[in-house]
């Protein structure tokens, strides 16, 4: 099997010291308990494919896809191994070699034909003229009430959202290993969104617009914080850090600052 993508991560794979710190936070390993479901196990499998010591198989491909990309392992890794990037490369090579599952093929087809992962042609963006491009993304297009709420919040804060007839950002194609399809999709995406600065509702979309396109993507929490006046609601709330927002974009304080500005005690 050709390992075009995985080859560039050979040095990264050699850095892993097999310490197993990554076991602690892995949501998949916590459920199954199998070594091959941990970050360490997957990097060993990836290295075996790269060196030719292991023959590629559907079993190995399935293991590579049993990862949520939460990046907890990368946070814990004392050797700073970029596990997600290694797995993304392995997935791309395995997909190229014909090991993509039918479900994943279906999702890639949905993105190509309907512009969203659900394959729903009825899902459309609430197009409107404005000044600042706002990218909604598949998940929020499927939640129109939440989307309208966010748009109203931005408008109340004096932001004029520019909403286009959009398609998926392409992250599912990247995550599932469909690199050729991703490159074609990115060309179309850039025709719709040539702007450098974009506000995104979804943390994962925001992270991919930044990492995958090099755009100055801003998550909506950042945009809200910039325009939010102070109030004292006298409430208590708990905040959960989304994986991509905190671990990819490093945005942890802004959401908390929003709560503080509203007079909400974080518990």
Beta bridge partners of 218: 199
Mean pLDDT of 12-39: 93
Q: How confident is the model at residue 67 (pLDDT cuts 50, 70, 90)?
A: very high
Q: How confident is the model at residue 79 (pLDDT cuts 50, 70, 90)?
A: very high
Phi/psi class of residue 214: alpha, beta or left (left: φ > 0; alpha: ψ in -120 to 50)? left
Report residue 40 CA to chain centroid gap: 21
Looking at residue 151, its pLDDT comes to 97
What's the predicted TM-score (pTM) here?
A: 0.93
H or E segment and range at residue 105: helix 102-114
Please provide the average confidence, as pLDDT, over all residues in the chain: 95
| 3-class DSSP assignment, residue 120 | coil
Looking at residue 225, its pLDDT comes to 97
Beta bridge partners of 198: 217
Picking from 97, 96, 98, 46, the residue whose alpha carbon sits closest to that of residue 67 is 46
Q: The tokens 């994962």 sit on which residue?
A: 204
Looking at residue 71, its pLDDT comes to 95
Mean pLDDT of 74-83: 92
Looking at residue 171, its pLDDT comes to 98
d(C-alpha 90, C-alpha 7), whole Å: 9
Mean pLDDT of 180-201: 96
Model confidence pLDDT, tens digit, residues 120-168: 999 999 999 999 999 999 999 999 999 999 999 999 999 999 999 998 9
Number of helices (H), then strands (E), belonging to the chain: the values are 15, 6
Rg (CA), the chain: 20
Residues 96-118 as b/e (b if ≥16 CB within 10 A, e otherwise) read beebbeeebeebbebbbebbbbb
Handedness of CA 190, 89, 113, 133 (dihedral sign): negative
Q: Which positions ≥6 away from 8 have C-beta within 8 Å?
A: 89
Q: The tokens 């598949």 sit on which residue?
A: 138
Picking from 132, 197, 193, the residue whose alpha carbon sits closest to that of residue 159 is 132
Model confidence pLDDT, tens digit, residues 39-55: 999 999 999 999 999 99
d(C-alpha 126, C-alpha 162), whole Å: 10
d(C-alpha 223, C-alpha 218), whole Å: 7
Q: What domains are there in the chain, each with its CATH number? A: 6-99 (1.10.1060.10), 132-266 (no CATH)
């Amino acid at each position: 099997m050709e390992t075009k993508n995985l080859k560039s991560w050979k040095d990264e794979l050699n850095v892993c010291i097999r310490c197993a710190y990554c076991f602690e936070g892995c949501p998949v390993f916590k459920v199954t308990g199998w070594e091959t479901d941990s970050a360490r196990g997957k990097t060993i499998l990836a290295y075996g494919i790269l060196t030719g010591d292991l023959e590629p198989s559907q079993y190995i491909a399935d293991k590579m896809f049993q990862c949520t990309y939460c990046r907890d392992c990368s946070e814990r890794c004392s050797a700073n191994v970029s596990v997600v990037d290694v797995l993304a490369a392995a997935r791309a090579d395995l997909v190229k070699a014909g090991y993509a599952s039918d479900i994943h093929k279906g999702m890639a087809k949905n993105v190509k034909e309907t512009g969203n992962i659900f394959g729903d042609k009825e899902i459309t963006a609430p197009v409107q003229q404005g000044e600042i491009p706002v990218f909604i993304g598949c998940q929020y297009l499927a939640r129109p009430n939440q989307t309208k709420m966010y748009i109203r919040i931005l408008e109340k804060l004096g932001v004029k959202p520019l909403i286009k007839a959009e398609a998926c950002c392409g992250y599912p194609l990247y995550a599932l290993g469909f690199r050729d399809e991703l490159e074609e999709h990115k060309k179309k995406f850039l025709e719709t969104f040539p702007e450098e600065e974009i506000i995104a509702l979804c943390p994962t979309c925001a992270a991919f617009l930044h990492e995958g396109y090099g755009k100055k993507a801003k998550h909506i929490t950042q945009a809200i914080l910039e325009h939010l006046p102070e109030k004292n609601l006298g409430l208590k709330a708990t905040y959960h850090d989304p994986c991509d927002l905190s671990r990819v974009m490093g945005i942890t304080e802004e959401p908390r600052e929003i709560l503080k500005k509203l007079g909400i005690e974080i518990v």
